[in-house]
């Protein structure tokens, strides 16, 4: 009878330890998924670039690129290219 009680206590301890480890794993996994979602959002926003004409920073997705330079609008691109031709 004594041996049965010891086995039952050991089984209960192992069960609760396994349950605790499972909960810790599940919490770690959810935290990791939140971190990855945050990184994906930052990557979706894109890098910031500077307009070659007015030096304003804007997201790369909104900028125009011409001959390796970034511009915030077509008017600044045209003005900059005209200035380059006249020099």
Q: For 4-45, write each residue's pLDDT tens digit.
A: 999 999 999 999 999 999 999 999 998 888 877 765 555 556
Percent of the chain residues topping a pLDDT of 70: 91
Q: What share of the chain is helix, strand, coil (3-state, %, to 5)?
A: 70, 15, 15
Tokens standing for 40? 């994906």
Put simply, whether the predicted model's pTM sits higher than 0.75 gets the answer no
Mean pLDDT of 62-73: 90
More confident of the two residues 63 and 44: 63
Determine the Cα–Cα distance for residues 59 and 26; give it in Å rounded to an integer.
36
DSSP class of residue 64 equals E
Residue 81's Cα: distance from chain center in Å?
36
CA dist., res. 22 & res. 14, Å (int)? 12
């Amino acid at each position: 009878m004594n041996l049965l009680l010891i086995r039952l206590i050991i089984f209960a301890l192992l069960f609760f330890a396994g349950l605790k480890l499972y909960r810790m794993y599940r919490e770690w996994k959810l935290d990791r998924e939140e971190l990855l979602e945050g990184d994906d959002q930052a990557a979706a926003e894109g890098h910031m670039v500077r307009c070659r004409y007015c030096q304003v920073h804007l997201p790369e997705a909104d900028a125009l690129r011409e001959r390796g330079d970034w511009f915030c609008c077509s008017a600044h691109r045209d003005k900059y290219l005209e200035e380059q031709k006249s020099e």
